[in-house]
Every structure is written in structure tokens, then in C-alpha cells.
Structure 1
């Protein structure tokens, strides 16, 4: 079955559920780690008839195992977490074109054609194995004719020379600590209607962690914008969720969020209750699309969710999480 084509053409809830069950059975046939995990739980895959019954693999397995369900043997690329403490996660990506499709189609689902944007990446350039940096570089390369670029040095330009009024929307992708470093060194500029500031990551051990609201207030004041956007992604996933205001995220059609009971990881709880974040990301079908993360969150409704922090036992990683 051509999953790659079907994943990015999902439109309805019914299509998502049918495709998810097909990919679940593909996982059982091709993902040895996931199959063994279900066996250890004494779960018979043949008895699973609804996607709500599908078990989620703890994300920590990406630190200790090669999570692989491709029929090929050599990955196109291996993404590695920043891993400021402990063992780093590794995501073995069998087909890089799936990630590229997810980047582009996911962004355009929320913001429209990338050709309408000038992207500025406030990111480090010394990591070749970061999925986030790969994503930002891809968006920049695809729109380089619009003046898109990586901002890696603050000493040779003024902010006003980068955020110029033109026919393109300017979107700044910035890691939190990079954005804070930037505004400490640059002069303040006026408000521009076509500028979007998107924070996309924690402090990664570079600065003291602060709550998202405080970070957003600092950024809004400096950049003179009404809202700060956010991106939610991680090394172990190939899709991203986006928040356009107030830290309320939405997923693309091939991604779904569940919230698990903090006392029982095999039970999902109702909307507006806080628990662990479980994710179905169908673009992960060549690794594992059913991931139980170490993030705390709550669902507002079937389409919107918030990320509230980290589980107490988990280490701080490079995904878009602020401490509670």
C-alpha cells in the first residue's frame, strides 16, 4: 500500500481512522520493537478494532533502540535530539522525502504557500543531525529568492535591515535562547503587520528556563507584535503542530493528540484534564507513529491542545516546552 500518498491526502476523520488501522497492522508486520512491546503487554493486535485501543510506544525507546519499520536497511538520515542531559534519542529516517512532505504540507495547511514568505532562521548552524534545523533550512532554501536566510551572527547588521516592508510575509523561526540573545543585542524596531515571530524550542541548557507566557511577553514587547506563534515538534516525530496565539496548538490532518491518565498510562482522559501527551503521527509509519511522550498537556477539544510542561521524571530536551 502506498502510505506516503495516502497520509498527506487525509481529509476526514473516517479516512484518518481507516489509514491509522492499516498502518498499525503494517507496524505489527514490520516493526520488531513495537511488536515485542505489545507482546510484553499481552496485547493481541488482532483484537484491536478501533484506533483508541492502539498502544503507544514510550518515547524513551528512541534512546535505547533502533525504531525501524522500513523494508529497506539503510536510513536516508538519522536525526538526533539535543540531549542536554542523558542519552540522546535517535530517529532513523528511512525516507527523507516523507519528512520533506510533512514539513511543507504541514506548514502550508496552517499558513498557506511557502512562496509567500521570507523565512529568517534564528538557529545554530553547527548541528547537522537536528530535525528542527533541517526543517528551517529547507523552508529557507525553498524561498531563498525571497531573501530567506539563516541569522547566525548579530554583529554585522541591524534588525531594521532584515524586517523590511515588502510584498512577502516575514516569518522568524527562532529557538527561544537565540531570540532572547538577539533582542539583548539589537535595537527595537516598529510594528509590521506582515511579521510573524515563531518560537520553536526551549533553552537547551543555554539559559534559565522560563514559562512560555513570560517568554512571549518579552518577545511581543520587543518585536511590537500582537501574538507570538509556536511550533511543537520533536526528534522522534516527522510532523509539527502550530499555535498562532496563546499557546493553543492544532495538528495537521495526519496527526492526532491524546491525553493519558497520569496514574494509568493505558487510559486516555477527557478534554480539559491534564495528563501525558500521546501522539499519532502517520508520517512516522517507517519508524513508529504511536508515541507516548514525556510532555504534560491537555486537550481543549478534538482539534486544539496545550502543552504545559514536562513529566517530573523526564529530562529537558529540545522540543517546544516551557516549564510550568
Structure 2
């Protein structure tokens, strides 16, 4: 029997591989869409013995099918952002506690105790729609921080400036998580020299500004906020885990998540570290949907297992995950 507690207690690559193969066998049995996909590829499930042999489901299936690996009632459905008329992805979650454990444990892994921080959110595009998994996470982080100044700032930039100034004065560890265009809008009118501030951009211009290369974007943000680096999170509706970059656009996964790179000309083959290709994600927190997803993002994996996002496939819909054209 698969237990989520086991997934979140992974310590090394061998344990990850063992759990991933166990999840694969569970999902290929219980997820109808994934089983059909694997069957269509003529993969002999009994012969899948390592991560590199596991088939990855195209992430676009979340737009057209209900991806579930159990028959439990759906507790919450997360949906992707998109322009009018665009088909949105829907991630039906039968146990939202798994998502909560994923983002809470990942934050502790990369940043430490949540209660040490004040969380400020500048996410107008996400706040103004329903079904955002990012808003669900930020709501919980704000609540669990139990800090009186934690909260959202829609378009009230003056209030945000005054709050940041006060927190800086008190030497309060602070995380400002914001959609890219809103962070740029803020620094056009306000300068704050707050070197200890963690500025975490979630990506996305939402049609509000022209897309920028990451180096140019982060240069503007580091100068505007007076910080040494810009942090980022790599997440999306179809995943229940996020990878984090503490600067320079280099992302690291929590221990139950891994990125592999597929050949752009042969999507069923993987490429070596350092080579550019399509990003495949193994997210074991997706135990109740599908943990093996072929995204529409381009990237490369470094020798230490970290990865970089280099753009998107040309025919991919532009959505609200953290993707910048390099």
C-alpha cells in the first residue's frame, strides 16, 4: 500500500527511485487515462525497472481529461490561468492535505521555519480568479506565519511600501511573493533598499507587459528592491509540488520531486545532463493523479540535479507558471 508519509520521508536517490517505481505501478493500474496512454505506447509495464523507462503523460491531458488514480471524492479542483477562450487545465485533488504537506515541507527544506517569516503577496491576477493553487498555498503560508503584517496587497502599492519599510526597520525576515508584472509596476514608483528581503517572482506578464529575458528582469528587480538576488518558484496547476530558485534562475526540487529532460525530436527518449530539451517532471505528491508529466517547457538539468527553465515550445499555450523566454 502506498503511503504519502513514505513519499515525504525520502532521503536519497535510491529511495526516490524505489518510490517512483511503486507509484508508477499504482498509477498505471488505477489511473485510466495513464493506463491507456502507456498501453498506446506499447510499453510492457513489467519491464519498467528504472526512472528512465517510465512513460511521461503529456501535461495537456489535464485540459481534456479527468486525471485520477483513485475513486475518492474530489475535495478541490485547481485550474490554470489563461486568456478568454483558452482551454484551462483542471487538477482534481482528492486529498488536499497532500498538497499542504508538499508546500509546507518544501518551504521548510529551502527556507526554514514558516513562523519566522512575514509573508506579503502581490498577486492581483491570481486573486481575481478562482481555482488558483498558488493562492491556496499563499493563504496558508500567511495564516501559518501568524504575523500581524502578513497579507495581500492588490493594487495598494503605497501600503506595501509602508509595510516593507516598517519590516525592514524591525529586521523582520520577510518574503514578498509576486507576479512578475506587479513587481515591476511597484518598483517603477518605489525604491526600497531591503537587502534581507526575499523577493520571489512567480512569473507571468499576463499580457500586461512585454516578455523579458530573465537576466534583464532580475537585474531590474534586484536594483528596485535593493536585494542581492531574485528568488523564483517553478510550479503549475498540474503539480502539487514546487521547485525553488534562490537566485540566478537555477531551481532545486524538494526530495520527492525530480526533473528529467527529454529529446525535443524524440519525446520518448531522455538526454544527458547539460543538454537542452523538454522538461519532464516526476512529482510524487501527485500520487492521486499522475506523477509523471511531460511539460511544454524547455530546460536543462545540471550535474548536481538542479535545473534551469529556458523557455517554452513554440506551440505551447502561455500560462501563469514561471516561464521566461531566454
Residue 171 (str. 1) matches residue 170 (str. 2): no
Q: Deviations over 1:99-146 (max 9, x none)?
A: 000110011111111111101011122222011111111111111335
1:240 matched residue in structure 2: 242
- Preserved CA contact (<8 Å) 1:146 1:168: no
Q: Which residue of 2 aligns with 1:6?
A: 6
**Residue 191 of structure 2 corresponds to which residue in structure 1?**
188
Shift of 1:315: 1.1
SS at match of 1:33: helix
The DSSP-based 3-state class of the residue aligned with 2:147 is helix
Deviation of the 1:226 alpha carbon = 0.8
Greater shift after overlay, 169-178 or 137-146? 137-146
CA distance in 2, matches of 1:25, 1:161: 50
> For 1:66, what is the secondary structure of its paired residue?
coil
What are the equivalent positions in structure 2 for 1:136-151 lying under 5 Å apart?
136-151=138-153
Distance 2:157 2:229 in 1: 27
User: Conserved in 2, the CA contact under 8 Å of 1:103 and 1:240?
Assistant: yes
Contact 1:121/1:136 (<8 A) preserved: yes
Residue 19 of structure 1 corresponds to which residue in structure 2? 19
Query: Partner residue of 2:75?
Result: 76
SS at match of 1:322: coil
SS of the aligned residue for 1:145 comes to coil
**Partner residue of 2:130?**
128
CA contact (8 A) 1:200 1:231 kept: yes
Matches within 5 A, 1:61-100: 61-72=61-72, 74-84=73-83, 86-100=86-100
**What's the counterpart of residue 118 of structure 2?**
118
2-side partners of 1:142 and 1:285: how far apart? 25
Take 1:13 and 1:226, find their aligned partners in 2: how far apart are those partners?
A: 32
Which residue in the other structure is 2:34 paired with?
A: 34
Between 236-245 and 166-175, report the one with greater CA deviation. Answer: 166-175
Instruction: Say which SS state the counterpart of residue 309 (structure 2) adopts.
Output: strand
Unpaired stretches in structure 1, ≥5 consecutive residues: none
Q: Secondary structure at the match of 1:157?
A: helix
**CA–CA separation in structure 2 for the residues paired with 1:262 and 1:193:** 40
Q: CA deviation at 1:13?
A: 1.1
Distance of 2:74 and 2:88 partners within structure 1: 18
1:148-180 per-residue CA deviation (whole Å, 9 max, x = no partner) reads 111113255261433423353111001101111
Alpha-carbon separation, structure 1, partners of 2:309 and 2:295: 11
Tell me the matched-pair count: 321
Tell me if structure 1 keeps the 8 A contact 2:279–2:296.
yes
Structure 2 residue aligned with 1:317: 319
Quote the residue 2:310 is aligned against.
Answer: 308
Contact 2:103 2:241 in 1 (8 A): yes
Q: Structure 2: how far apart are the matches of 1:58 and 1:268?
A: 15
Measured after TM superposition, the shift of residue 260 of structure 1 is 0.5
RMSD of aligned Cα (Å): 1.4
Contact 1:67/1:91, CA 8 A, preserved across alignment: yes
Q: Which residue of 2 aligns with 1:296?
A: 298
Q: Secondary structure at the match of 2:159?
A: coil
5+ residue gaps, structure 2: none
Determine the C-alpha separation between the residues in 2 that align with 1:293 and 1:170: 32
- Separation in 1, partners of 2:254, 2:137: 16
Tell me which residue corresponds to 1:272: 274
What's the TM-score once normalised by structure 1's chain length?
Answer: 0.95
